[in-house]
């Protein structure tokens, strides 16, 4: 393979062949290892250009990572909900709001759960004792107390 100019930065004769190198594909914070790839790298800007079979394998690893990540998130949503003894309906009521079938769609990987909801589920997975707080939060006694204060302030100004 003869050297040629970098397609990205234009540096002359800067592309150097490599083979047998490992790369990592990432999707959000999730990663997957792709071993033994070959191609060329620019010595100036570090841009990598894979050869055709390596480009194919790298792209496929990325696609599979996204597909697997969606499935893993969906399975985690289901596992944690069951661990907390929620039905899909009560999980919507206490946690997510939205349509009555929201959790069903998250658990079938039809829709990605909103990030705050997935964070909340993972926190509850680590601290399931907080579920009792959820019921108190749902009752809204604290918010109703604040509303009563607002009402009293409003009446004072009349």
Q: Which of 44, 76, 112, 125 binds Zn ion (CB under 5 A)?
A: 44
Question: Does 9 participate in binding Zn ion (rule CB under 5 A)?
Answer: yes
Minimum gap (Å) between residue 46 Cβ and Zn ion: 7
Residues in the chain: 158
Could you say whether residue 45 binds Zn ion (CB under 5 A)?
A: yes
Q: Are 46 and 83 a contacting pair, CB within 8 Å?
A: no
Per CB under 5 A, does 42 bind Zn ion? yes
Q: Is there binding between residue 49 and Zn ion (CB under 5 A)?
A: no
Give the sheet arrangement for strand 30-42, strand by strand.
Answer: 15-27, 30-42, 48-50
Give the torsion through C-alpha atoms of 22, 24, 25, 31, to 10 deg. 140
Asked if 8 touches Zn ion (CB under 5 A), the answer is: yes
Residues near Zn ion (CB under 5 A)? 6, 8-9, 11, 42, 44-45, 47
């Amino acid at each position: 393979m003869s050297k040629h100019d970098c397609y990205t930065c234009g540096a002359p004769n800067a592309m150097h062949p490599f083979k047998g190198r490992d790369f990592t594909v990432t999707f959000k914070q999730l990663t997957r290892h792709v071993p033994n790839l070959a191609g060329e790298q620019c010595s100036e800007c570090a841009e990598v250009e894979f050869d055709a079979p390596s480009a194919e394998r790298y792209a496929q690893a990325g696609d599979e990572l996204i597909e697997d990540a969606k499935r893993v998130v969906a399975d985690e949503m289901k596992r944690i909900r069951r661990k907390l003894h929620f039905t899909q309906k009560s999980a919507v009521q206490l946690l997510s709001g939205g349509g009555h079938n929201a959790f069903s769609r998250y658990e079938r990987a039809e829709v990605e759960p909103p990030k705050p909801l997935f964070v909340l589920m993972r926190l509850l997975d680590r601290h399931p004792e907080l579920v009792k707080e959820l019921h108190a939060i749902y009752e809204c006694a604290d918010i109703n107390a604040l509303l009563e204060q607002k009402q009293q302030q409003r009446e004072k100004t009349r």
